Structure 1
């Protein structure tokens, strides 16, 4: 019997080595309270996903993410205003994001960048906000987490003009091999979501097969982008297991080796080993 589309995928057998979900939205997954966050992380742990970075894309969700990271030592946060929301970006918004950005368990500035698929915010407003987030990332010395939708060239142009922060992560990397090479040449890290498991994503899969091991992260972007074969069903951090296994097959790599590499990368990029429960 085919499961209903709205049902959560099954929790898979645990990975042979733990991995970090480098980008998720726990609040959008329905986890609002400490108890709900813990329950969701318990499911992730059962699949071998032992830590997550929950991302705020509005000022309100950024505030929630920073708070949720103090509830459970398996949770860290990233804060920013999503590019599609930048048509109104007030001084009060900037002040609040600056306040949140320096909190110890906020480990990245993001997701920020450019989105030319939707027309919710004009390009000029997105560009200004992106430049501001780049400056904030450098000022607080935390990685910049990029949202890039149909904006590859302008993303790189602005990063080159402003001077990229020491660490840049392309969340839900969506480029081809040529764009992956351009990013890696600049020292950027590429984070792959469930889209890389889609069998028609030939250019993306080619990029994932090529990218050097120390430039790879894995994420869910939950509740969106559920990996194959559960596309269209609700996503959660435990589903990073499916994506990592698929990438390991694609790269002809042992899943334990890839999981260990991805975890080392996440710990290095986000300085996770430096943090304790606050």
Structure 2
């Protein structure tokens, strides 16, 4: 079985020519491709288009959706510009809100997988001031407004049912709503999850083994009879210099749980290749 590793969750860092640093490090690690998420705004999208053209066999570009300004026409534009998928985070309403359905429907039509942040959104440095003016609060009703409760895994259950031909990936196995994510994973053939971020540091491998317990031989399983781990993909969500550590964490989980070589191959790249319509040979 060929060695295929695809990082399905990586953000373009605020570093000049980050794609060059990433390509060099991933070549060293043996990571074949990366789903690289653009920075926000039109400048970020243009930056990603340039990076995709520079490394067409390495970068799968994901367009960062602007909830306030992007329309279904922009989804068509993303496809035309060569993007492989769309990233969703910080929605102004729960992910399954009907106002967003036209965007999702167009993603399904354009065959652009959707990567959804799930759980609590990280923050930068501390804010010392305890005072927020009414004007500041009002200004938060824009792309930077965050209500983490809008990003629960169960909303992806709704979307996976409404748009059954759309490939959907939930980030971080829903951290901290792991059980919710696991059951959504089990019942929806088109819904996949990564274990990126801090979860593999905070939880032991058996925690994930207990959550993702079903396989093709169990009485209770997913509708297609697949092993739970066929729905889990490799993702880092860290900078290039920390990716080796994340790859090691995935390896520890795979070895500790005694997963087969076939499942290792699918987790690290085979399933992602299917999601993005790539040759997995």
Q: Which runs of 5+ in 1 are unaligned?
A: 1-15, 116-120, 224-233
- 8 Å CA contact 2:38–2:45 kept in 1: the answer is yes
2:186 aligns with one of 180, 184, 187: 184
Q: Which of 58-67 and 122-131 deviates more?
A: 122-131
User: Alpha carbons of 1:204 and 1:37: their partners in 2 closer, same or farther (altered >3 Å)?
Assistant: same
1:191-221 CA-to-partner distances (Å, cap 9, x unmatched) read: 1213231234785564356662321201011
- 8 Å CA contact 1:176–1:203 kept in 2: the answer is no
Distance (whole Å) between structure 1 residues aligned to residue 274 and residue 52 of structure 2: 18
2:211 aligns with one of 186, 204, 207: 207
- 8 Å CA contact 2:52–2:59 kept in 1: the answer is yes
What is the aligned partner in structure 2 of residue 101 from structure 1? 79
Distance (whole Å) between structure 1 residues aligned to residue 60 and residue 6 of structure 2: 10
User: Alpha carbons of 1:197 and 1:204: their partners in 2 closer, same or farther (altered >3 Å)?
Assistant: same
Distance (whole Å) between structure 2 residues aligned to residue 208 and residue 214 of structure 1: 10
- 8 Å CA contact 1:22–1:217 kept in 2: the answer is yes
3-state SS of paired residue (1:69)? helix
- 8 Å CA contact 1:196–1:205 kept in 2: the answer is no
Distance (whole Å) between structure 1 residues aligned to residue 238 and residue 4 of structure 2: 18
1:244 aligns with one of 243, 250, 266: 250
2:111 aligns with one of 141, 161, 176: 141
Distance (whole Å) between structure 1 residues aligned to residue 247 and residue 30 of structure 2: 7
User: Alpha carbons of 1:40 and 1:182: their partners in 2 closer, same or farther (altered >3 Å)?
Assistant: closer
Q: State which structure, 1 or 2, has the greater radius of gyration over its C-alpha atoms.
A: 2
- 8 Å CA contact 1:138–1:165 kept in 2: the answer is yes
User: Alpha carbons of 1:79 and 1:90: their partners in 2 closer, same or farther (altered >3 Å)?
Assistant: same
Distance (whole Å) between structure 2 residues aligned to residue 127 and residue 257 of structure 1: 38
- 8 Å CA contact 2:85–2:114 kept in 1: the answer is yes
Distance (whole Å) between structure 2 residues aligned to residue 124 and residue 214 of structure 1: 27
What is the aligned partner in structure 1 of residue 51 from structure 2? 68
Query: How far 1:51 moved relative to its partner?
Result: 1.3
Aligned-residue Cα RMSD (Å) equals 3.2
1:53 aligns with one of 35, 41, 58: 35
User: Alpha carbons of 1:49 and 1:203: their partners in 2 closer, same or farther (altered >3 Å)?
Assistant: same
3-state SS of paired residue (1:248)? helix
3-state SS of paired residue (1:245)? helix
Query: How far 1:126 moved relative to its partner?
Result: 8.3
TM-score by length of 1: 0.68
What is the aligned partner in structure 1 of residue 232 from structure 2? 216
Distance (whole Å) between structure 1 residues aligned to residue 13 and residue 99 of structure 2: 24
Distance (whole Å) between structure 1 residues aligned to residue 250 and residue 257 of structure 2: 10
Count of residue pairs the alignment pairs up: 229
Distance (whole Å) between structure 2 residues aligned to residue 90 and residue 221 of structure 1: 25
User: Alpha carbons of 1:178 and 1:95: their partners in 2 closer, same or farther (altered >3 Å)?
Assistant: closer
What is the aligned partner in structure 2 of residue 193 from structure 1? 196
Q: Which runs of 5+ in 2 are unaligned?
A: 120-148, 215-226
3-state SS of paired residue (1:79)? strand
Query: How far 1:268 moved relative to its partner?
Result: 0.7
